[in-house]
């Protein structure tokens, strides 16, 4: 039993689906990856930041190394862009060799670049960039597509995904978790993996005295339209003045061509507080426009905020519960959790084995990459797809070139999208410059048709998020 | 009638603020504005446009209008009355679907042609694709 | 409207099927009023095969959802509703032999010109002699202005709300706040009100309405909807569905005035924040600058309608399309593509001017300007660096309404004396309400 269908929960589900075991994933939201995964900038960090010797450092480096193969196998976009951690103040130049030492201690390739070399690596950098640590192993991926591909593969191998199912308590007895009480009934389980993200401490608390606490740390990310400054690398800032609790975000290209700026970082009290604040936006834009001055003329198309699940020790927790023999915590997975996710999943499986889990491997295990989107096809393939399928001739989202068949495929997925947001995460319909002004009603119409419900019962992101009040004429 | 009625002229970007008195108007910069202001002050009228439920078509509603302007303060009543209609496709632009709306002497007219059946929402593609 | 109900419109359009291939003289992208006018004009000017591609299933662009009246006073001499205007214009184009490829999306444009289309029978590459881009405009969104707060359901652009209500028969919510007072926002406020959705108010950040006086009077005053000038929405609240917005008074620089924040409960926020020409298809090829005949910087490619300049009325859009269509027909017939001989810029008091260039073929031109001045008796000049080349006097102007200036052969001859000319506007006499707006 896995609690939480973020990228970590889905990666573990996928690993478990290689075995002949009954696996179920419980998710509170109506789609995969609605928490930290959904508010992620898609950077696959190289591992230059975590303090050497930490679990975070080890899993980050191992996870990063696993990414190219994983993404190829799952049909998920991944590009090694490399990362430049930039120093803007000459007085802080001594950070460069120090960071290089830390990177090397973590086993990460890194070198200090300055002047012409720096400009050659990233022509978009402004005059303020003094020097940088260059880590060629950094990359970018699409966190949604990765999570979806992992879940889809797991589901094809028999894993059950229970969405809109919130954990309300643990059924415990004699030092073991017997099952999980949810808003949709009780589930019995022999092993439970807690991947509940920002709420992982609350879930842990349902099984016994507190073992750790999570402090939500909020950050805003601003999305810029394609056609803005051509930034080819992941850019970060190295500074003594930064927040010591976070790498403090940066500027990075997304695999789909947008530019993402942020996130910043500040502690918040409310675990649901994903409101974007004017102050937060201003801070990230001020900070990073100094790095790439052309940003000042770029067009923002959206801003969102996410919560990172930080613990006091600032390290990942992948260990059995102190109180329950069959409960595994996978918690405190903040950045670079995406990069680390493949290694976290492998480690979680090792831990489960230590806790007594064993099952024969599944000989017929399949890999089920999501169907390729029309946009991702080359011209000849597009011609073929459009000839074969009328649904590929109807473009639903023009900004991102998403066809009706792309949307329908997401709605018929083994872990089906059921809401506007879910379709958006899987197809990008509505993520473009018009932010769904054009495609929103069209996608909603397709959802209604596929699910056999009236248009006004379609939601944005699950119960309570109704889109329309009703028909104007009954 | 009150001694004077203030009217904001809508005929040009000037947006004159006109005072209409029983025997004259003040503040208009042109003749058309004077006439418009007097009409607005004495008998303001609007063309009402809304939609009507339609069956047997790709769209659930069809747009309609009044054949002539109706008294300004009866717009909401007109929309309420029109919204009670139920139509069936096909419908043609210009087709009268309600005669003498609320006894006002104006009709309700369809403003968009809607063929019967669902095919209008499919691409009107070429025969080669059929 | 007289005659046979339905006029020549939809029947003729549906009869105009043809094979999506072969030689095409003029391919128009977009079947809104600009595209329809361009296509009809191209045929009338002698173009052989003229095709309109459009992603929608029926022609008209945004017009079918604009069910209010007031369209076409100049073109047809009567006040049509949007759907009526669309059918008239489509019928007109069909009557002169324009082909309609509805349900067809133009994915990409390339030099040649070359168009990648998907729809009809599949995906294909078309190589027409000329291309007219008439893709209209899109709405600025809350994302573009980075409006803070949560991201619940219930935030719609005015155009989306209009489509929902008028075409899809769906009510977006039950209590709405409208942010921005552009024309579409005002018109949608009235529709919401008449359909039973309470409109709490319209909030406009500037000290004057963004839309026409006519719409302020007829959409808001008529229905008792409050207009709050110098106010804006500063935050969005609600986790799943919108629960409210915070509104506040702002100063001239857009900063919130202390102590004026107020939370307004509502389940719907309609944004009317302005229109942006939709030029995506030109990205990486050329910018949106056109010459006097709507030629772009890309050979044999034209741009017209709201994609070139956000016009105030459909009549202006139609005229603009016609201009492009006529020129496209001439170039399809072999007319050499001209050089640009002068650049046209916006100077003091002028926010925007189109066309932004004059070609060597220019004999006359019609300039569309947005001004930063308002008042009566305003003078606009076209200036070379040191001297005025031409002057126009305007009776009444406002920043919310575009002005059109015509330069006949004599004036144009003078304008072409310099390689760069700038339009400037001076506010009229102060007693006549003249003043200049600073952005």
In chain C, what residues touch A435 (CB-CB under 8 Å)?
Answer: 141-143
The residues near B5 (Cβ < 8 Å, ≥ 6 apart) are B19, B20, B41
Alpha helices (runs of H) in C271-376, residue ranges in sequence order: 314-332
Query: How confident is the model over A30-47, as a mean pLDDT?
Result: 95
Q: Which residue has the higher pLDDT, A248 or B84?
A: B84
User: Which stretches of chain C drop beneath a pLDDT of 50?
Assistant: 1-18, 438-439
> What integer pLDDT is reported at residue C73 of this predicted model?
84
Most B CBs within 10 Å, among C3, C5, C118, C402, to test the B interface: C5
3-state secondary structure of C11: helix
Q: Which residue of A has its CA nearest to B121?
A: A394
In this complex, do C214 and B10 lie within 8 Å of one another by their Cβ atoms? yes
Q: Which residue has the higher pLDDT, A399 or C430?
A: A399
Q: Are A263 and A38 in contact (CB under 8 A)?
A: no
Record: fold of A374-457: Arc Repressor Mutant, subunit A (1.10.10)
What are the DSSP calls for A389-448, one per residue? -GGGTSEEETTTTEEHHHHHHHHTSSS---SHHHHHHHH-TT-STTTTTTTHHHHHHHHH
Q: How many of the other CB atoms lie within 10 Å of CB of C363?
A: 11
> What integer pLDDT is reported at residue C385 of this predicted model?
84
> What integer pLDDT is reported at residue A298 of this predicted model?
94
- Spatial separation of the C-alpha atoms in residues A67 and A255, rounded to whole Å: 14
Read off φ and ψ for residue C47, nearest 5 degrees: -65, 145
Min Cα distance C225 → chain A (Å) is 20
In this complex, do A464 and C103 lie within 8 Å of one another by their Cβ atoms? no
B-facing residues of C in 230-269 (CB < 8 A) are: none
Q: Are C225 and C193 in contact (CB under 8 A)?
A: yes
Lowest-pLDDT range of A137-146, A363-372, B53-62, C427-436: C427-436
- Spatial separation of the C-alpha atoms in residues C269 and C249, rounded to whole Å: 18
- Spatial separation of the C-alpha atoms in residues C153 and C172, rounded to whole Å: 10
Question: Does residue B51 belong to the interface with chain A, where contact is any CB pair within 8 Å?
Answer: yes
Q: Which residue of B has its CA nearest to C376?
A: B14
Read off φ and ψ for residue A17, nearest 5 degrees: -70, -5
In chain B, what residues touch A393 (CB-CB under 8 Å)?
Answer: 123
Q: Are C382 and C422 in contact (CB under 8 A)?
A: yes
In this complex, the residue of A393, A394, A471 whose CB is nearest that of residue B60 is A471
Active site residues of A: 45
In this complex, the residue of C87, C167, C194 whose CB is nearest that of residue B93 is C87
B-facing residues of A in 355-394 (CB < 8 A) are: 393-394
In this complex, do B123 and A393 lie within 8 Å of one another by their Cβ atoms? yes
> What integer pLDDT is reported at residue C435 of this predicted model?
58
Min Cα distance A379 → chain B (Å) is 20
Q: Which residue has the higher pLDDT, A14 or B34?
A: A14
In chain C, what residues touch A463 (CB-CB under 8 Å)?
Answer: 240
In this complex, the residue of A303, A379, A472 whose CB is nearest that of residue C165 is A472
> What integer pLDDT is reported at residue C430 of this predicted model?
56
> What integer pLDDT is reported at residue B74 of this predicted model?
97
Min Cα distance C15 → chain B (Å) is 9
Q: Which residue of B has its CA nearest to A473?
A: B53
Most A CBs within 10 Å, among B52, B53, B55, B85, to test the A interface: B53
In this complex, do B61 and A393 lie within 8 Å of one another by their Cβ atoms? no
What are the DSSP calls for C29-85, one per residue? E--SHHHHHHHHHHHHTT-S-EEEEESSSSS-TTGGG--SEEE-TTTTSS-EEHHHH
The residues near A97 (Cβ < 8 Å, ≥ 6 apart) are A112
Query: How confident is the model over A224-233, as a mean pLDDT?
Result: 93
In this complex, the residue of C120, C143, C164 whose CB is nearest that of residue A302 is C143
Question: Does residue A448 belong to the interface with chain B, where contact is any CB pair within 8 Å?
Answer: no
- List the one residue out of C33, C169, C54, C40 whose CA is nearest residue C98: C40
Question: Does residue C1 belong to the interface with chain B, where contact is any CB pair within 8 Å?
Answer: yes
In this complex, the residue of B53, B123, B128 whose CB is nearest that of residue C57 is B123
In this complex, do A473 and B51 lie within 8 Å of one another by their Cβ atoms? yes
Domains of chain B: 4-42 (no CATH), 49-121 (3.10.530.10)
In this complex, do C120 and B129 lie within 8 Å of one another by their Cβ atoms? yes
> What integer pLDDT is reported at residue B86 of this predicted model?
97
3-state secondary structure of A149: helix
In chain C, what residues touch B79 (CB-CB under 8 Å)?
Answer: 194-195
> What integer pLDDT is reported at residue C78 of this predicted model?
83
The residues near A364 (Cβ < 8 Å, ≥ 6 apart) are none
In this complex, do A472 and C152 lie within 8 Å of one another by their Cβ atoms? no
- List the one residue out of A135, A115, A302 whose CA is nearest residue A235: A135
Most C CBs within 10 Å, among A307, A438, A442, A473, to test the C interface: A438
Q: CA C319, C325, C331 angle in degrees (round to 5)?
A: 145
pLDDT tens for residues A262-281? 898 888 999 889 999 999 99
Min Cα distance A426 → chain B (Å) is 25
Please report how the helices A337-354 and A55-74 are oriented relative to each other, as an axis angle in degrees rounded to 10: 100
Architecture per CATH, C9-138+276-332: 3-Layer(bba) Sandwich (3.50)
In chain C, what residues touch B124 (CB-CB under 8 Å)?
Answer: 13-14, 17, 57-58, 100, 102-103
- Helices H, strands E: what count in chain B? 2, 10
In chain B, what residues touch A387 (CB-CB under 8 Å)?
Answer: none
Q: How far is CA C277 from CA A141, A281, A373, C274, C311, in A?
A: 31, 26, 28, 10, 10
Question: Does residue C20 belong to the interface with chain B, where contact is any CB pair within 8 Å?
Answer: yes
Min Cα distance B73 → chain C (Å) is 8
- Spatial separation of the C-alpha atoms in residues C147 and C245, rounded to whole Å: 11
- Find the length of chain A: 474
Q: Are A33 and A5 in contact (CB under 8 A)?
A: yes
> What integer pLDDT is reported at residue A242 of this predicted model?
60
Q: How remote is the C-alpha of C121 from its chain's centroid?
A: 31
In chain C, what residues touch A394 (CB-CB under 8 Å)?
Answer: 103, 119
Any idea which residue has 């009150």 for tokens?
A: B2
Min Cα distance B23 → chain C (Å) is 24
> What integer pLDDT is reported at residue A352 of this predicted model?
98
Question: Does residue B60 belong to the interface with chain A, where contact is any CB pair within 8 Å?
Answer: yes
Question: Does residue B52 belong to the interface with chain A, where contact is any CB pair within 8 Å?
Answer: yes
Q: Which two tokens stand for residue A1?
A: 């039993």
- Spatial separation of the C-alpha atoms in residues C199 and C189, rounded to whole Å: 7
> What integer pLDDT is reported at residue A430 of this predicted model?
95
Any idea which residue has 């197809």 for tokens?
A: A427
Query: How confident is the model over A212-238, as a mean pLDDT?
Result: 94
Q: How confident is the model at residue A138 (pLDDT cuts 50, 70, 90)?
A: very high
In this complex, do A466 and C241 lie within 8 Å of one another by their Cβ atoms? yes
Region C155-273: CATH code: 3.50.50.60
Query: How confident is the model over A304-317, as a mean pLDDT?
Result: 93
Q: How do the domains of chain C map onto residue ranges?
A: 9-138+276-332, 155-273, 340-436
Read off φ and ψ for residue C12, nearest 5 degrees: -65, -40
Q: Are C196 and C223 in contact (CB under 8 A)?
A: no
pLDDT tens for residues A418-432? 999 999 999 999 999
User: Which stretches of chain B drop beneath a pLDDT of 50?
Assistant: 1, 120-130
In this complex, do A394 and B123 lie within 8 Å of one another by their Cβ atoms? yes
Min Cα distance C142 → chain A (Å) is 8
> What integer pLDDT is reported at residue C8 of this predicted model?
34
Question: Does residue B123 belong to the interface with chain A, where contact is any CB pair within 8 Å?
Answer: yes
In this complex, the residue of C19, C218, C401 whose CB is nearest that of residue B126 is C19
Q: Which residue of C has its CA nearest to A278?
A: C148
Q: How many of the other CB atoms lie within 10 Å of CB of C95?
A: 16
Rg (CA), chain C: 23
Read off φ and ψ for residue C81, nearest 5 degrees: -85, 170
In this complex, do C101 and B125 lie within 8 Å of one another by their Cβ atoms? yes
Instruction: Tell me the β-bridge partners of C358.
Output: C342
- Spatial separation of the C-alpha atoms in residues B79 and B69, rounded to whole Å: 13
Q: Is the reported ipTM for this assembly greater than 0.90?
A: yes
Most B CBs within 10 Å, among C12, C14, C76, C81, to test the B interface: C81
Q: Which residue has the higher pLDDT, A23 or A248?
A: A23
Min Cα distance C432 → chain B (Å) is 10
In chain B, what residues touch C395 (CB-CB under 8 Å)?
Answer: 12, 14
In this complex, do C5 and B94 lie within 8 Å of one another by their Cβ atoms? yes
> What integer pLDDT is reported at residue B124 of this predicted model?
34
Instruction: Tell me the β-bridge partners of A222.
Output: A261, A303
- Spatial separation of the C-alpha atoms in residues A455 and C373, rounded to whole Å: 46
Q: Which residue of C has its CA nearest to A305?
A: C150
In this complex, do B60 and A473 lie within 8 Å of one another by their Cβ atoms? yes
């Amino acid at each position: 039993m896995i609690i939480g269908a973020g990228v970590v929960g889905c990666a573990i589900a996928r690993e478990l689906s290689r075995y002949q075991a009954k696996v179920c994933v419980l998710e509170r939201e109506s789609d995969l990856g609605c928490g930290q995964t959904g508010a992620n900038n898609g950077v696959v960090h190289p591992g230059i930041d975590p303090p050497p010797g930490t679990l975070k450092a080890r899993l980050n480096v191992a996870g990063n190394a696993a990414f190219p193969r994983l993404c190829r196998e799952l049909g998920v976009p991944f590009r090694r862009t490399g990362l430049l951690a930039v120093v803007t103040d000459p007085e802080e130049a001594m950070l460069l060799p120090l960071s290089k030492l830390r990177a090397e201690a973590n086993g990460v390739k890194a070198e200090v670049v300055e002047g012409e070399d720096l400009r050659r690596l990233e022509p978009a950098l402004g005059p303020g960039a003094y020097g940088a640590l260059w880590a060629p192993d950094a990359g970018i991926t699409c966190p949604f597509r990765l999570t979806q591909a992992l879940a889809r593969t797991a589901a094809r191998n028999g894993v059950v995904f229970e969405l809109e199912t919130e954990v309300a308590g643990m059924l415990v007895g004699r030092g073991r978790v017997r099952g999980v009480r949810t808003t949709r009934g009780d589930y019995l389980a022999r092993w439970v993996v807690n991947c509940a993200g920002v709420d992982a401490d609350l879930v842990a608390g349902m099984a016994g005295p507190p073992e750790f606490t999570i402090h939500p740390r909020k950050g805003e990310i601003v999305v810029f339209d394609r056609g803005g400054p051509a930034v080819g690398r992941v850019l970060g800032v190295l500074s003594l003045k930064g927040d010591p609790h976070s790498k403090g975000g940066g500027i990075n290209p997304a695999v789909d061509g947008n530019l993402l700026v942020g996130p910043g970082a500040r502690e918040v009290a409310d675990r649901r507080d994903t409101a974007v604040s004017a102050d937060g936006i201003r801070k990230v834009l001020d900070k990073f426009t100094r790095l790439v001055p052309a940003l000042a003329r770029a067009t923002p198309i959206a801003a969102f905020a996410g919560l990172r699940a930080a613990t006091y020790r600032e390290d990942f927790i992948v260990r059995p519960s102190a109180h329950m023999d069959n409960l595994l915590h996978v918690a405190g997975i903040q950045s670079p959790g995406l990069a680390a996710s493949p290694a976290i999943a492998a480690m979680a499986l090792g831990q489960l084995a230590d806790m007594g889990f064993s099952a024969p491997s599944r000989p017929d295990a399949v890999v089920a990459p999501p169907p390729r989107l029309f946009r991702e096809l080359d011209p000849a393939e597009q011609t073929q797809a459009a000839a074969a399928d009328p649904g590929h001739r109807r473009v639903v989202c023009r900004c991102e070139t998403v066809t009706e068949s792309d949307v329908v495929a997401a709605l018929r997925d083994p872990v089906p999208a059921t809401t506007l947001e879910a379709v958006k995460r899987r197809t990008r319909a509505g993520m473009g410059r018009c932010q769904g002004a054009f495609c929103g009603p069209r996608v909603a119409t397709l959802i209604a048709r596929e699910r056999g419900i009236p248009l006004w019962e379609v939601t944005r992101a699950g119960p309570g998020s109704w889109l329309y009040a009703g028909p104007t004429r009954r | 009638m009150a001694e004077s009625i203030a009217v904001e002229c809508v005929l040009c970007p000037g947006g004159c603020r006109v005072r209409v008195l029983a025997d004259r108007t003040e503040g208009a910069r042109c003749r058309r504005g004077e006439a418009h202001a007097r009409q607005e002050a004495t008998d303001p009228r609007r063309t009402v446009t809304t939609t009507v439920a339609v069956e047997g078509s790709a769209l659930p509603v069809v747009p309609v209008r009044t054949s002539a302007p109706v008294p300004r303060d009866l717009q909401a009543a007109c929309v309420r009355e029109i919204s009670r209609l139920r139509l069936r496709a096909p419908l043609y632009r210009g087709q009268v679907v309600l005669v003498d709306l609320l006894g006002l002497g104006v009709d309700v007219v369809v403003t968009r042609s809607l063929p019967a059946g669902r095919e209008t929402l499919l691409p009107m593609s070429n025969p080669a694709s059929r | 409207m007289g005659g046979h109900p339905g006029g020549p419109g939809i029947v003729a359009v549906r009869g105009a099927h043809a094979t999506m291939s072969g030689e095409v003289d003029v391919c128009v992208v977009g079947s809104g009023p600009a595209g329809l006018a361009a296509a009809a004009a191209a045929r009338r000017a002698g173009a052989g095969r003229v095709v309109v591609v459009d992603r929608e299933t029926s022609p008209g662009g945004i017009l079918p959802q604009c069910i209010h009246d007031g369209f076409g006073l100049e073109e047809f001499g009567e006040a049509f509703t949007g759907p009526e205007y669309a059918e008239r214009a489509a019928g007109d184009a069909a009557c002169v032999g324009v082909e309609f490829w509805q349900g067809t999306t133009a994915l990409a444009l390339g030099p040649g010109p070359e168009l990648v289309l998907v729809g009809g029978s599949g995906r294909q590459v078309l190589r027409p002699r000329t291309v007219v881009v008439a893709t209209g405009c899109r709405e600025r969104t809350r994302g573009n202005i980075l409006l803070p707060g949560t991201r619940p359901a219930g935030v719609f652009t005015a155009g989306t709300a209009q489509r929902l209500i008028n075409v899809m028969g769906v009510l977006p919510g039950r209590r709405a706040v409208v942010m921005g007072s552009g024309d579409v926002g005002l018109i949608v406020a009235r529709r919401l009100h008449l359909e039973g959705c309470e409109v709490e108010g319209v909030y406009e950040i500037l000290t004057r309405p963004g839309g026409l006086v006519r719409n302020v009077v007829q959409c808001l005053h008529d229905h008792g909807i409050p207009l709050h000038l110098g106010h804006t929405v500063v935050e969005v609240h609600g986790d799943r569905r919108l629960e409210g917005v915070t509104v506040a008074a702002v100063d001239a620089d857009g900063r919130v005035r202390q102590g004026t924040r107020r939370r307004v409960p509502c389940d719907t926020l309609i944004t009317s924040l302005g229109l942006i020409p939709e030029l995506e298809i030109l990205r990486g090829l050329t910018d949106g600058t056109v010459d006097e005949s709507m030629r772009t910087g890309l050979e044999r490619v034209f741009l017209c309608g709201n994609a070139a300049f956000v016009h105030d009325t459909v009549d202006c859009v139609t005229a603009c399309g016609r201009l492009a269509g006529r020129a496209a027909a001439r170039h399809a017939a072999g007319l050499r593509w001209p050089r640009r001989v002068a650049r046209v810029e916006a100077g003091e008091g002028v926010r925007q001017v189109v066309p932004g260039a004059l070609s060597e073929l220019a004999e006359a031109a019609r300039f569309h300007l947005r001004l930063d001045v308002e008042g009566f008796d305003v003078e606009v000049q076209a200036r070379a660096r040191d001297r005025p080349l031409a002057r126009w006097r305007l009776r009444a102007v406002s920043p919310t309404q575009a002005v059109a200036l015509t330069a006949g052969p004599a004036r144009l001859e003078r304008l072409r004396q310099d390689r760069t000319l700038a339009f400037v506007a001076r506010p009229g006499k102060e007693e006549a309400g003249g003043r200049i707006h600073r952005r």
